[in-house]
Amino acid sequence: MRIEWREVKSMAMQTVRDVMTTNVVYLPSETTLAEAARTMREQDIGDVVVADGPELSGLVTDRDIVVRAVAERCDPAATTIGEILSKNLVTVRPEDSIHSAALLMRDQAVRRVLVCDDSNGLVGIVSIGDLAEEIDPDSVLGGISKAEPNN
């Protein structure tokens, strides 16, 4: 597929605000993996932000539950998300370009970034799928990301 200059210019001008998910789900660190997994299923999401009070503790993804807990034979009913969360939070600003967000995700080797602004703190999340849908919706990843969930 050949990308025209006007498409590249359009990508550079689109902001994170245009593609971010604003429905952020927060759970306290004492939430069990089983409870977090049920929440993810019910909300049709792949991550939850871990927060105890106003301060963010980290992020837990469905992949974290599988790789850091289930694969290590941790009991999902007894293990908490606070025990497996990712503390190294990568953030972008709502006015950042989607191109710069994609480059940051590549450079930091992360699949999601938190969107934060000065006045409201965390205002959204952007996933690699969100960017794929916007940057190249006809790509395989863009198509997968747009597809209905297969519960």
pTM score, whole prediction: 0.79
Residue 142, pLDDT above cutoff 50: no
- What average pLDDT does range 6-11 have in this prediction? 49
Confidence band (pLDDT; 50, 70, 90) for 143? very low
Residue 120: what pLDDT?
A: 87
Give 26-89 as a 3 state SS string: EECCCCEHHHHHHHHHHHCCCEEEEEECCEEEEEEEHHHHHHHHHHHCCCCCCCEHHHCCECCC
DSSP summary character for residue 125: E
Residue 103: what pLDDT?
A: 93
- Rounded (5°) CA angle 73-67-50: 100
pLDDT in tens, 79-111: 999 999 999 999 999 999 999 999 999 999 999
* 8 or 51: which leads in pLDDT: 51
Residue 53: what pLDDT?
A: 86
Confidence band (pLDDT; 50, 70, 90) for 145? very low
Residue 144: what pLDDT?
A: 46
The CA distance from 12 to 81, in Å, is 36
